[in-house]
Chain A
Amino acid sequence: MNNKRIYPLEEHHLDERTVTAPDELVRRHLQPGRTLLAVLHAIQDDVGFVPPATVVPLAKAMNLSRAEVHGVITYYHHFRSEPPAAVTVQLCRAESCRSMGSEALAQHIESHTGCRFTQHRHDDADAHAHGGRDVALESVYCLGQCALSPAMTINGTLHAKVTPQKFDALFAAAMATAAHTEEAA
């Protein structure tokens, strides 16, 4: 929980990485009965991350302190404060996957991608340039596929019984899709 980001006191600070203004983003997802956690989920599901500039309008709208909003965002591993990488790999590092060689697989993935796994998702330096596109390697702890270890996700799609060869093929496909998406955009 070493996020030392300082939120601007001024409101309406537009985050250049989202098309939507933070105020509008908050307004769009604030609903009666929705808790802060649920609003944060809705924002991240919408734009891919929780822009830091939404903290102030969120705090104001929900009658909370900025510290409380910041505290919730940084407490949970799920929330990102930066846009996701073009390709994000989440590898399970928990006991069951360890018993089936996830640590060796992690080493293979690091050497294959030239990226490093980070301990914590708030270390935003984890997105490394790989062939011109961002790749992020994240450690997760249990994807619920313990009878079919090791397990991982690539851009949210779950894969079980992963071998180095299987990883290489899936990773290449994900990179190709990312390149295609970029071209289309």
Chain B
Amino acid sequence: MTRIYVPRDSSALALGADAIADAIQREAAARGVAIELVRNGSRGLLYLEPLVEVEAGGKRIGYANVEPQEVSALFDAGFVDGKPHARCVGVVDEIPYLAKQQRLTFARIGLTDPLSTDDYVAHGGLEGLRRALTMTSAAACDELIESGLRGRGGAAFPAGIKWRTVAQAHADQKYVVCNADEGDSGTFSDRLVMESDPYVLIEGMAIAGVSTGATVGHIYVRSEYPDSIATLEEAIRRARAAGWIGDDVLGSGRRFELFVAKGAGAYVCGEETALLESLEGKRGIVRAKPPLPALAGLYGKPTVINNVITLATVPIIFAKGAPFYKHFGMGRSRGTLPFQIAGNVKQGGLVELAFGVTLRELMFDYGGGTASGRPARAVQVGGPLGTYLPESQWDIPMDYEAYAAVGAVVGHGGLVVHDDTSNLADLAQYAMEFCALESCGKCTPCRIGSTRGVEVIAKIRHGDTSEKQVTLLRDLCDTMVSGSLCAMGGMTPYPVMSALNHFPEDFGLETVQPATTAAA
């Protein structure tokens, strides 16, 4: 019996994977070929989706960009035995795009059926949780601090320090909250974890729970990700049935319950305090800090709040130990980051590599250049609140500090490539429009500043390039950076200022004044 894999994550589904799976079943039955169809997760090589794999000779042979109507021809060509066909891309593990990666957090994606508990354990699952259950709370937090893991959601705060703060807090109830409100354009790594390896997130949250004394966890997923929600809910049900979570975590006598909460389309709920408000059922309005969520978070109780990738990286750190993880990376950026190559690129997908790789390598060695075939012009790194980097900055190593030194942010490692037809003034105005649309309205610089920002940029674009308008825009951005409560208003100036500084010609400006704001 031949095992055939057809992915079930939403990228594959959006390109017709269900119809392909049906066609394969139908065709196999009609031809009397015995197959076992596995609906695996995505391998992260999204440019190849839908990527059908056939197990032949102990290897997995890939057939890329398959269309449902081609299934019959694939059978004719003998794809069940891994025979050649125009769609064949060879042994998937040997494709350089994948082979050159350093997959730690994403070690399992695409290899397994995301909902199979047996697959999960067979691929090294639960080793981290088992080890964490033997450790004291202090030792577990020290392990995480030692690993150097920093928050992967964008803020890059040391995860272990956060955990220790929660562990040392005294309260009758503590919580673990997973921020899965992945609203940034150019990011999909959280989604890939939830849809392609949900148990790694569940395990990471359970480790966070037993290490800090939190007995209840919530995963807050954006409503735009219905497939992630469905997969997580089923995975949680199965994990509970298997005794991995619940009243007696792996027979340890420890308790950890886990629930999924659905967002409702508010971008700002990706900010941790707005997320907590939303999780409590209220409007997602940003809270002033302090108090820190680690001391007064969900319902005022000590709360570990981490992004999906941070929590999904925890199991491998506990399974292999902090020194193993710390060995990857550079400077104070330890470990790996799952980069997401998106936008105008030929080969978009997930590329997990140690810190230190450059944008140019990611864009060209992996991304293969632009999809349009035109020269790339600007790359926005770190989501809608990240800066636009011109070619002169494409060789800076991906490192939190190296990026900060030029006023940029690595963020969650999402990159959106724009070709030479892009208009950066248009994108800058859009950044302000988006901020105006999504601002929670609590603080004035963000609520009013964004609308004023749209107006000033529009004026400049309509030909009022007087020094006064440009000064006004810089001054406004300065106020937003310094005076906003959270990153929504505080970082919207990053794309705006970088567009203005590096691409003044798009604004109709010939020269540009030297940057005076925090954001370059």
* A residues adjacent to B (C-beta < 8 A): 35-38, 40-41, 68, 71-72, 75-79, 92, 94-100, 119-121, 140-149, 151, 156, 158-161
Contact = CB atoms under 8 A, between A and B. Distances in A.
Interface in B10-51: 10-11, 13-15, 46-47, 49
A99 B10 contact: no
Contacts of B261: 35, 37-38
B376 to A, nearest CB: 10
A98 B360 CA distance: 21
Contacts of A99: 343-344, 416-419, 422
Contacts of B348: 146-149
Contacts of A140: 224, 265
B264 A35 contact: no
Of residues B183, B278, B283, which shows the largest number of chain A Cβ atoms within 10 Å of its Cβ? B283
Nearest to B188: A144
A141 B186 CA distance: 11
B14 A145 contact: yes
B46 A78 contact: no
B312 interface: no
B10 A158 contact: yes
A146 B281 contact: no
A71 to B, nearest CB: 5
Contact of B281 (A72, A77, A98, A143): A72
Contacts of A149: 342-343, 348
A76 B185 contact: no
B183 A76 contact: no
Contact of B184 (A38, A79, A92, A142): A142
Contacts of A97: 185
Interface in B211-244: 223-227
Contacts of A77: 264-266
A35 B384 contact: no
Interface in B258-282: 261-267, 278-282
A141 B438 CA distance: 10
B139 interface: no
Contacts of A146: 185-188, 340, 342-343, 348, 414, 416
B280 to A, nearest CB: 6
A41 B262 CA distance: 8
A176 B10 CA distance: 24
B380 interface: yes
B283 to A, nearest CB: 4
A41 B263 CA distance: 9
A38 B47 contact: no
Contacts of A145: 10-11, 14, 188
Interface residues of B, number: 58
Contacts of B430: 95, 98
9 contacts: A37-B282, A75-B266, A98-B430, A142-B183, A144-B10, A147-B342, A149-B342, A160-B11, A160-B14
A98 B345 CA distance: 13
A75 B343 contact: no
A76 to B, nearest CB: 3
Contacts of B47: 147-148
A121 B380 CA distance: 27
A121 B223 CA distance: 15
B14 A141 contact: no
A38 B438 CA distance: 21
A148 B416 contact: no
B89 interface: no
Of residues A40, A76, A147, which shows the largest number of chain B Cβ atoms within 10 Å of its Cβ? A147
B281 A37 contact: yes
Given A142-B185, A146-B188, A96 B342 contact: yes
Contact of B349 (A41, A94, A98, A147): A147
A111 to B, nearest CB: 21
A78 B264 CA distance: 5
A79 B264 contact: yes
Contacts of B11: 145, 147-148, 160
Contacts of A147: 11, 46-47, 188, 340-342, 345, 348-350
A95 B349 contact: no
B135 interface: no
Of residues A99, A119, A145, A160, which shows the largest number of chain B Cβ atoms within 10 Å of its Cβ? A99
Nearest to B267: A141
Of residues A35, A40, A75, A97, which shows the largest number of chain B Cβ atoms within 10 Å of its Cβ? A75
B197 interface: no
